[in-house]
Structure 1
Amino acid sequence: MIKNKFYQYGNQNGRVPAHLNFGKEVYDNMVANKDIVALVNADTSEQRTYGEVAQLTPNIALSLIRLGIRKGDIVCICSEKNLEFLPTVLGIMCSGAIFTPTDPTYGSHPLAHRVKIVRPKVVFCSLTAYKEHKPVFEEVGSVKHYILYGDQGQDGAILLKDFLTESVALEDFEPVSVNGYDDTAFIVFSSGTTGLPKGVPVTHLGFLLNAQNMTRDYKGMVIYTSREFYYTYGLMYALACLRSNSTLVYNLNGGELQMLEAMQKYKPKVLQLAPMIITELIKSAILDNYDHSSVNYIVSSSTYIREDAVLAIKTRIPSLVSVLQLYGMSEGGSICNELACTNGYKAGSSGLPGLGFIMKVVDLETRQPLGPNLRGEICIKGPSVMKAYLGNVQPDCKDEEGFLKTGDIGYYDEDGYFFVVNRIKELIKFNDISVAPAEFEDILLQHPAVREVGVVGKPHPVHGEVPVAFIVLQSGATASEQELVEHINSRVTYRMRLAGGVRFINRLPRGAGDKLDRINLMKRLVDEDAN
């Protein structure tokens, strides 16, 4: 083989342990660094050392095995952040089982769709999530046991403290052996480039490499995270931080005041923030009332941060060295990042390809690879890229060379730095959360007055994009915009609400094969603003 001059190659020298078990690598590192603080709940000042997290990990693993969980079984967590969440994830992986998260704020419809894909045998959940979502899990019928965080018991569930019947000395525990190249560590969800959310299996090997892409020498470094552990980016970054033995500080419910108080008290060097929160800090009226001089880096993902915003946040936080913009996706992990850039950063760039990645940019029509500074679809290949969606539900997600089609439009420059400028996929980024139009469309079609529906994203200066629904009503039927918005909002998480409202039209535009023409709908929104 001869290297393709139009392909961009990441560093191919990532290091992984011979056992290829992500849970074991983190566990061994925790045992070796027992006295470092691992987790801090900034709201309550409670904390756990790596020794305490290390002890909880095998206790959870062995107690799961006692319940009958075996290698390859799926265990779900449906809970807000707490001090036991990440140890539970590691305990699941060390038991040989597969972990999957789900958003406890989901409405019944999107939750049921995801749970039916993975069919977990055990669910760890908060009290709120248990009360709200047990009927959904019961409908699926796969769950044998519910493990409840906290001290308040409920009929049909086991309190975590009562579940933890097994214990072992740290030096005597050995995680279940896995084949890290093929065996799945956890399953997350993605809408890919189109359609309803699909299950994405992440192997132990894939995440061992991804964790190296996300963090470097962070041992003992204090990192503040604003992201939820049940979302892919928040989960993966938190696990990468535990692998590097850093101290992870979080608030339960977020909020500007709580975040600034945590920054002043715990003096983090790194802030893991969503772009929307960076915008809030730029405009903050109280930022200067707090000491944030410890902050050197902001790490962000999801949507692009404009160069003027980067300059503005550096003005508000003078100690800030850089805003690191990660480019990633559930199917591939941390694809591009500025941590790989030994020659410095470039404004607007997501950096160089990460460990093990090969990247190309192809012409949208001919699919031929393009040279520097030419825009096309970004495609990726590497050992951390998923082999296929669960059930191979979208077999055309890769091209004939095995490159995953990201659905993102971008280019690379003469130095190999990548710039993501747009996307061709349908996914809507609302408040930094990925929203699948198909989910909204499916729910709206359940309303008796709706005949056809198409949902697209409308650019918004604060939220990134807001979902807008174009609706064709049944002949003779009536429905108000408020009625249809409430129909959606009562069935989805508040983070996914139909914030852009409804537009009533007589006919949806369609292209070849009667496929919905979303570009036409988005153009209508542009014309709407122009008028």
Structure 2
Amino acid sequence: MSAPGVATALRADPVALVFEDREYSRGELDRLAAGLAAELAERGVRAGDRVALMSGNRPEFVVAVLGLWQLGATVVLISPSWKRTELEHALMLTEPVLGVGDSPLLAEMLPMRHLDEPITPRTPAAARPDPASDAVLVFSSGTTGLPKAVRHTHASMAAAVQHWIKVLELNSYDRLQILTPPSHILGLLNIVTVLQAGAWMRLHRRFDLERMLSCIAQDRITIEMAVAPIALALAAHPELESYDLSSLRYIMWGATPVAAGVAETVTARTGVPWLPAYGASELPVIACSPIGDVRLDSVGKAAPGVRLRAISLETREPLGPGEIGELQARSASLMAGYLPDEATASAFDDGWYRTGDVGSIDADGWIRLTDRSKEMIKVRGFQVAPAEIEAVLHAHPGVGDCAVFGVADPGDGEAIVAAVTRAAEVVPEVTADELAALVAERLAGYKRLRRVVFVSEIPRLPSGKVLRRILKEQYGRQIHE
């Protein structure tokens, strides 16, 4: 592999993607995509058809996306970690005509073009898919039940890419790593954005913290992407200071609100600032902190081209600056709708997309997320945000990770429970009484913890979002035992 630097930058067709010891230029990716597109066309795939893509992190994933888009087909992104029941639900919902990938499970359920088979490059045709046609179906997080398929058109994806380029101030000199699954909207958005901006990326087969840190120095990475599990791992790394992270402009924190204590710990140890951002499968880029003017208590300000408002949870009327309600958005990057179709109507309120997030927008446009509306805990009529309590718990050095949730209670409506992992090598171990006292000292009485359960791991999606329903199922019944 050639070393990064001036020689690479001056190539007529510069490197766009690196995977292990293999380099790919944008031209090579396009030629491979054209070859795959021609092969799939021979197998009967036509514009408007849906094709399931179930693949691990590999260059052929990128080639498959580009090839299907050259055909005008719709990419149905399926997580390679899904099991049979989840895959059956996805295929029933989207009805793809063919599978592409490296999953034996997908091959059992659909005729599948395996990505281990060689692809013969061809000269790309000038393909211009209809901007209004579906480009990708990506599944929503599914934190409260079976996931829905989110429909993004070529126009909405193009708008999201432009928004991401603007808020990240991305240019052709930037270098990124792709560690998050490309079957998730953030992974796909990062890949397509790097290609559009003419930047450089290293695609990793899987997340490995040591490899990620080593590559920052080796590849002179300028922008690092992190979700909550990566941020937690960085803060807890005993030898973080030994890695050269000087090439980084910032680390982007997305998918969940910033845990300020975790972010501050990483910055204090490395000198690298954070860039909070906010998006969703349905609207990939909602907000981002202005570079050079970052606040860790906020996800930033609305991205260019995105309009935001807060709506009262009780009256459904628009709220003024600083008032807490459901956040709603309008943007050209907004999804076209869901599958099943009947789920789409409830996602909108008079043309505004209902994010399901609770928060406020101050007079200067700074957005503060409180929590998910479906995850708010109601105690004696008061709305309690799990994230507020989690922020207090994260500040305790004995806490490795945590998640707060509510369980039914006949007296208070709901009782507050915290699931906590203990931080490694912190002696003495933190106790439930200590954590309950800390919350009681910092927050109002109705936000007190009824119970603390110590667990080995907090269940999270790859995006970092906590699967509270799993915690409720596992520990909710213990509250009255």
Q: Same fold (TM over 0.5)?
A: yes
In structure 1, what is the Cα distance between the partners aligned to 2:96 and 2:270?
A: 44
Note if contact 2:216-2:244 (Cα within 8 Å) is conserved in structure 1.
yes
Which residue number corresponds to residue 254 of structure 2?
A: 301
Shift of the 261–50 alpha-carbon distance from structure 1 to 2, 3 Å rule, reads same
Which residue number corresponds to residue 274 of structure 2?
A: 323
Shift of the 309–225 alpha-carbon distance from structure 1 to 2, 3 Å rule, reads same
In structure 1, what is the Cα distance between the partners aligned to 2:41 and 2:11?
A: 26
Note if contact 1:147-1:160 (Cα within 8 Å) is conserved in structure 2.
no
In structure 1, what is the Cα distance between the partners aligned to 2:143 and 2:82?
A: 22
Q: Does 1:200 align with 2:166?
A: no
Once the two structures are TM-superposed, the CA of residue 347 in structure 1 deviates from its matched residue by 2.4
In structure 2, what is the Cα distance between the partners aligned to 1:355 and 1:61?
A: 34
Which residue number corresponds to residue 401 of structure 2?
A: none
In structure 2, what is the Cα distance between the partners aligned to 1:375 and 1:89?
A: 40
Please tell me the root mean square deviation across aligned C-alpha atoms, in Å.
3.4
Note if contact 2:359-2:368 (Cα within 8 Å) is conserved in structure 1.
yes
Note if contact 1:223-1:271 (Cα within 8 Å) is conserved in structure 2.
yes
Q: Does 1:60 align with 2:12?
A: no
Q: In structure 2, which of residues 104, 108, 112 is the aligned counterpart of residue 146 of structure 1?
A: 112
Which residue number corresponds to residue 187 of structure 1?
A: 137
Tell me the alpha carbon deviations over residues 255-310 of structure 1, each in whole angstroms, 9 at most, x when there is no partner.
22221222221110111121211111111112223222111211121111122222
Secondary structure at the aligned position of 2:224 is classed as: strand
Q: TM-score, normalised by structure 1?
A: 0.68
- Larger CA deviation: 211-220 vs 240-249: 211-220
Shift of the 125–503 alpha-carbon distance from structure 1 to 2, 3 Å rule, reads closer
Which residue number corresponds to residue 167 of structure 1?
A: 122
Which residue number corresponds to residue 80 of structure 1?
A: 56
Once the two structures are TM-superposed, the CA of residue 160 in structure 1 deviates from its matched residue by 3.8
Q: In structure 1, which of residues 30, 40, 46 is the aligned counterpart of residue 22 of structure 2?
A: 46
Q: In structure 1, which of residues 110, 114, 119 is the aligned counterpart of residue 95 of structure 2?
A: 119
Which residue number corresponds to residue 292 of structure 1?
A: 245
In structure 2, what is the Cα distance between the partners aligned to 1:388 and 1:364?
A: 23
Letter in 2 for 1:211: V
Secondary structure at the aligned position of 1:124 is classed as: strand
Q: Does 1:423 align with 2:372?
A: yes
Note if contact 1:325-1:350 (Cα within 8 Å) is conserved in structure 2.
yes
Q: In structure 2, which of residues 176, 201, 206 is the aligned counterpart of residue 253 of structure 1?
A: 206
How do 1:216-235 and structure 2 match up within 5 A? 216-235=169-188
In structure 2, what is the Cα distance between the partners aligned to 1:233 and 1:383?
A: 17
Note if contact 2:69-2:129 (Cα within 8 Å) is conserved in structure 1.
no
Once the two structures are TM-superposed, the CA of residue 192 in structure 1 deviates from its matched residue by 7.2
Q: Does 1:354 align with 2:309?
A: no
In structure 1, what is the Cα distance between the partners aligned to 2:422 and 2:330?
A: 33
How do 1:360-375 and structure 2 match up within 5 A? 360-375=309-324
Once the two structures are TM-superposed, the CA of residue 502 in structure 1 deviates from its matched residue by 4.8
Once the two structures are TM-superposed, the CA of residue 99 in structure 1 deviates from its matched residue by 0.6
Shift of the 253–317 alpha-carbon distance from structure 1 to 2, 3 Å rule, reads same
Tell me the alpha carbon deviations over residues 453-512 of structure 1, each in whole angstroms, 9 at most, x when there is no partner.
xxx99655689xxxxxxxxxxxxxxxxxxxxxxxx9xxxxxx9799748558xxxxxxxx
In structure 1, what is the Cα distance between the partners aligned to 2:296 and 2:420?
A: 22
Once the two structures are TM-superposed, the CA of residue 317 in structure 1 deviates from its matched residue by 1.6
Shift of the 413–496 alpha-carbon distance from structure 1 to 2, 3 Å rule, reads closer
Shift of the 99–277 alpha-carbon distance from structure 1 to 2, 3 Å rule, reads same
Once the two structures are TM-superposed, the CA of residue 100 in structure 1 deviates from its matched residue by 1.4
Runs of 4+ in 1 over 3 A off after TM superposition: 191-195, 426-429, 456-463, 495-504
Return 5+ residue gaps in structure 2 as ranges: 1-9, 377-385, 388-404, 406-415, 424-458, 460-465
Once the two structures are TM-superposed, the CA of residue 254 in structure 1 deviates from its matched residue by 1.9
Tell me the alpha carbon deviations over residues 357-395 of structure 1, each in whole angstroms, 9 at most, x when there is no partner.
221101101001111111100011222212321242224
Q: Does 1:105 align with 2:71?
A: no
Q: Point out which structure has higher relative CO (alpha carbons under 8 A, 6+ apart).
A: 1
Q: Does 1:35 align with 2:13?
A: yes
- Aligned sequence identity (%): 24
Shift of the 103–84 alpha-carbon distance from structure 1 to 2, 3 Å rule, reads same
Letter in 1 for 2:130: N
Tell me the alpha carbon deviations over residues 71-93 of structure 1, each in whole angstroms, 9 at most, x when there is no partner.
11011211111112112101111
In structure 2, what is the Cα distance between the partners aligned to 1:421 and 1:400?
A: 20
Secondary structure at the aligned position of 2:279 is classed as: strand
Note if contact 2:37-2:70 (Cα within 8 Å) is conserved in structure 1.
yes
Which residue number corresponds to residue 390 of structure 2?
A: none
Letter in 2 for 1:308: G
Q: Does 1:92 align with 2:68?
A: yes
In structure 1, what is the Cα distance between the partners aligned to 2:330 and 2:11?
A: 35
Q: In structure 2, which of residues 224, 230, 234 is the aligned counterpart of residue 281 of structure 1?
A: 234
Secondary structure at the aligned position of 1:292 is classed as: coil
Letter in 2 for 1:148: H
Secondary structure at the aligned position of 2:234 is classed as: helix
Secondary structure at the aligned position of 1:386 is classed as: coil
- Larger CA deviation: 367-376 vs 399-408: 399-408
In structure 2, what is the Cα distance between the partners aligned to 1:229 and 1:114?
A: 17
Secondary structure at the aligned position of 2:350 is classed as: coil
Shift of the 185–265 alpha-carbon distance from structure 1 to 2, 3 Å rule, reads same
Once the two structures are TM-superposed, the CA of residue 402 in structure 1 deviates from its matched residue by 0.8
In structure 2, what is the Cα distance between the partners aligned to 1:501 and 1:286?
A: 35
Q: In structure 2, which of residues 107, 122, 133 is the aligned counterpart of residue 134 of structure 1?
A: 107
Note if contact 1:61-1:92 (Cα within 8 Å) is conserved in structure 2.
yes
In structure 2, what is the Cα distance between the partners aligned to 1:462 and 1:189?
A: 32
Shift of the 503–201 alpha-carbon distance from structure 1 to 2, 3 Å rule, reads closer
Q: Does 1:407 align with 2:356?
A: yes
Letter in 1 for 2:372: R
